[in-house]
Amino acid sequence: MAESEYESVLCVKPEVHVYRIPPRATNRRYRAADWKLDQPDWTGRLRITAKGNMAYIKLEDRNSGELFAQSPVDQFPGIAVESVVDSSRYFVIRIEDGNGRRAFIGIGFVDRGDAFDFNVGLQDHFKWVKQQTELAKQAENPDSGPKLDLGFKDGQTIKLNIGHVRKKENASAKPRPPAGGVGLLPPPPGAKAPTLLPPPGSISVEDSVMHQPVKPATPEILGDLFAPDVPPAQASHAAAADLWGDFATAPSSASSQVTQSANWVQF
């Protein structure tokens, strides 16, 4: 992949300490306890930049920005940046002067958060580099990736369930009632056909009888229940008066008959 023409900044820390470290005699890892931690050889600003696939750790003056040392990093973790075994705030980086000379120095952060950001900044950059490399390979060889074989193998079958259709287990099952009402069973042999109800809106003889208004009880019938108590003597007198009341109030048909008889000729 061709390198980009611009340089991006990945991380900036305002304070970092630089230490001269003794050469490593064996293959064991570095220990920060072997350095003079209370007497740093230089203190300044750290800045991590990226250009293409490469990352650069730059140690600069905090006031003027003048470059003190630079460490090109082509992979992480790797030989260009190593952590110590006894602390998470100190690292060993490999610096270059541009003339082919290299040296290993120790750097340390006062705050653990600064050391964490330094570590994550490098990790994120090289994750991005790995993704870009894989995408470039796929673009160059699109047919090199695994392909999905969706064809049927020999003897392979497939089963489809369309609508969950089930066969009737019993052909003599009861018929379903018609929609909108309850079905009626046919009458047994020799029985009379059931009387059908008239259609809605028609009035039958029974309905006319049942719907005739009922006359309320007359006051005379209810009057015996609410009549005041009458002494026996008065009651007998009243009964006699009622017995002859019809004759007293009869129409004047009798008098008309007497008048007519007066006109007859007596012999």
Residue 63 is part of a domain; what is its CATH number? 2.30.29.30
Residue 1 pLDDT: 46
- Structural domain contains residue 128: yes
Total number of domains in the chain = 1
Per-position DSSP letters for 189-257, written without gaps between them:
TTPPPPPPPPPTT---HHHHHHTSPPPPPPHHHHHHHHSPP--HHHHHHHHHHHHTHHHHT--THHHHH
What are the average pLDDT values for consecutive 10-residue runs of the chain, which has 267 residues? 71 95 83 91 95 94 92 91 93 90 94 94 93 85 66 77 60 56 61 58 51 52 49 53 50 48 48
Is 134 inside a domain boundary?
yes
Let me know if residue 181 belongs to a domain.
no
User: For position 180, what pLDDT does the model report?
Assistant: 54
Q: Does some domain include residue 38? A: yes
Range of the domain at 20: 8-139
Let me know if residue 185 belongs to a domain.
no
pLDDT at 94: 95
pLDDT at 23: 81
Instruction: Give the 3-state secondary structure of 36-68.
Output: CCCCCCEEEEEEEEEECCEEEEEEECCCCCCEE
The per-residue pLDDT for 226 is: 47
Assess if residue 184 is contained within a domain.
Answer: no
**Residue 103 within any structural domain of the chain:** yes
Residue 23 is assigned to a structural domain of this protein: yes
